[in-house]
């Protein structure tokens, strides 16, 4: 943070800080389409010092998810390539459950279908490989090194985070904040009437993180569904700003947005994961309420449901608030940040 200048009035002197130093960050991701858009934003942001991208099974298996992360890094084409480390291959207790039917069998909208004018693959196989380091070790090592300065942005099920808690709770509790894309407070789920996908896939991990004592910000469906990306806007953007990145965004969102056209009533998609990165960059984009939240792990109909205690007579002694839940978002300002950060 640099002190740029002082503002004074008759009584006070106000230091004005600008050009904040980039903040140490880890992105933990399950490698789907909206994850990819979020990673483009993070790679292009001057406010983020991306220490690692850790990967796990969720939208797609962990190996494909890692390939997808490397694809995004290749397309953005930065000099400094963040560490990419693979973690959990399945949830803590439940069987694996993926979203290949929504994100495509490759997790990125079946990129293999796209060809260049000469018929060559637009997205040829890459030679880069993820690190041989284990994601849980990377998370704990980074937590130890950067402590309270570190923000973890969790874009998938919370299995990696939960495993890090299990392995070395004290070290992980040093991190400043975990910004979680997951759950829902006042709106229904998406993968079921009760549950949002990331919490549905691994409710046990989500509940462990709720009990972690780490400062948590929940970027749930309440705000993600107020951050729509419309297909025609994306296509118009790519026409006006032709680049490998804008072409990739048009290509990888095709199937994902068609799912929304056929099932959610609009041709576009919600920017779940990009909004979590947006909130990690600028928390003023959202308004939050500190609530006590639990995640149902056993419900026959409600497994994965995030339940916030919104009663007037809350028992804040026995059930103290454990998460800052986002309830409103400045959609216009967020979408401006999104388009600013997908610019190469
Ligand atoms: O419910 C939306 C979340 O589930 C997003 O993170 C999406 O990528 C999927 O992981
Ligand atoms: Ca995700």
**12 inside domain:** no
**13 inside domain:** no
**281 inside domain:** yes
pLDDT tens per residue, range 54-100: 999 999 999 999 999 999 999 999 888 899 999 999 999 999 999 99
Contact 164, 38 (CB under 8 A): no
Kindly give the number of the ligand 1 atom that is closest to the alpha carbon of 35.
8
pTM over 0.75: yes
Give the residue numbers marked as catalytic. Answer: 272
Kindly give the number of the ligand 1 atom that is closest to the alpha carbon of 103.
8
pLDDT tens per residue, range 162-209: 999 999 999 999 999 999 999 999 999 999 999 999 999 999 999 999
**264 inside domain:** yes
User: In this structure, what token pair is assigned to residue 309?
Assistant: 């205690």
Q: How far apart, in Å, are the Cα atoms of 319 and each of 140, 177, 198, 316, 326?
A: 28, 20, 24, 5, 19
Arithmetic mean of pLDDT, 145-159: 98
In short, whether 94's Cβ falls inside 6 Å of ligand 1 is: no
User: In this structure, what token pair is assigned to residue 91?
Assistant: 């949830």
The pLDDT, as a whole number, for residue 18 is 53
CA distance 241 to 163: 42
CA distance 209 to 217: 11
Domains held by the chain: number: 1
Q: Which residue has the tokens 């291959």?
A: 89
In short, whether 59's Cβ falls inside 6 Å of ligand 1 is: yes
**Neighbouring residues of 82: CB distance < 8 A, sequence distance ≥ 6:** 43, 50, 51, 52, 53, 73
Task: Using pLDDT thresholds of 50, 70 and 90, give the confidence band for residue 7.
Answer: very low
Ligand 2 centroid distance, CA of 329 (Å): 19
CA distance 41 to 202: 26
Model confidence at 341: pLDDT above 50: yes
Per the model's pLDDT, the better-predicted residue between 10 and 280 turns out to be 280
Model confidence at 287: pLDDT above 70: yes
**300 inside domain:** yes
Ligand 2 centroid distance, CA of 114 (Å): 23
Neighbours of 298 (CB within 10 A): 9
In short, whether 157's Cβ falls inside 6 Å of ligand 1 is: no
**9 inside domain:** no
Task: Using pLDDT thresholds of 50, 70 and 90, give the confidence band for residue 5.
Answer: very low
**55 inside domain:** yes
**105 inside domain:** yes
CA distance 98 to 105: 10
In short, whether 142's Cβ falls inside 6 Å of ligand 1 is: no
Please tell me what DSSP assigns to residue 289: E
The pLDDT, as a whole number, for residue 160 is 99
Backbone phi, then psi, for 142, in 5-degree steps?
Answer: -70, -35
The pLDDT, as a whole number, for residue 39 is 98
Model confidence at 19: pLDDT above 80: no
Average pLDDT along the chain = 94
Q: For position 55, which CATH number holds?
A: 3.90.245.10
The pLDDT, as a whole number, for residue 96 is 96
Domain carrying residue 231: 21-341
Q: Strand 83-86 relative to strand 131-134: parallel, antiparallel, unpaired?
A: parallel
CA distance 199 to 294: 11
Rounded to an integer, what is the distance from CA 60 to the centroid of its chain?
15
Q: Among candidates 185, 139, 160, 213, which has minimal Cα distance to 289?
A: 185
* Pocket residue to mutate for ligand 1, from 224, 227, 259, 273, most atoms within 8 A of Cβ: 273
Contact 182, 154 (CB under 8 A): yes
């Amino acid at each position: 943070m640099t002190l740029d200048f002082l503002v004074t009035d008759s009584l006070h002197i106000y230091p004005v800080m600008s050009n904040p130093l980039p903040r140490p960050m880890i992105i933990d991701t399950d490698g789907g389409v909206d994850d990819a858009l979020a990673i483009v934003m993070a790679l292009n942001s001057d406010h983020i010092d991306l220490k690692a991208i850790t990967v796990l099974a969720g939208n797609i298996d962990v190996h494909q998810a890692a390939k997808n992360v490397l694809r995004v890094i290749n397309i953005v084409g930065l000099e400094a390539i963040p560490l990419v480390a693979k973690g959990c291959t399945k949830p803590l207790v439940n069987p694996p459950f993926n979203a290949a039917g929504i994100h495509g069998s490759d997790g990125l909208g079946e990129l293999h279908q796209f060809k260049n004018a000469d018929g060559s693959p637009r997205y040829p196989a890459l030679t880069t490989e993820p690190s041989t380091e284990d994601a849980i070790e990377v998370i704990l090592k980074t937590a130890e090194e950067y402590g309270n300065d570190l923000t973890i942005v969790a874009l998938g099920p919370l299995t990696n985070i939960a495993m890090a808690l299990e392995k070395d709770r004290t070290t992980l509790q040093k991190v400043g904040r975990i910004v979680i894309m997951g759950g829902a407070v006042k709106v229904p789920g998406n993968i079921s009437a009760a549950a949002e996908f990331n919490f549905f896939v691994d409710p046990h991990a989500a509940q462990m993180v709720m009990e972690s004592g780490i400062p948590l910000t929940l970027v749930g469906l309440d705000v993600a569904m107020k951050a729509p990306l419309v297909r025609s806007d994306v296509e118009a953007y790519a026409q006006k700003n032709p680049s490998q990145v804008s072409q990739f965004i048009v290509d990888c969102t095709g199937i994902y947005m068609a799912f929304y056209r056929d099932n959610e009533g609009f041709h576009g998609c919600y920017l779940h994961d990009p909004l979590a990165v947006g909130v990690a960059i600028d928390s003023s984009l959202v308004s939050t309420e500190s609530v006590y939240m639990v995640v149902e792990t056993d419900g026959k109909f409600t497994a994965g449901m995030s339940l916030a205690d919104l009663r007037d007579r809350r028992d804040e002694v026995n059930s103290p608030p454990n998460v800052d839940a986002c309830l409103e978002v400045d959609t216009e300002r967020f979408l401006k940040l999104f388009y600013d950060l997908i610019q190469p």
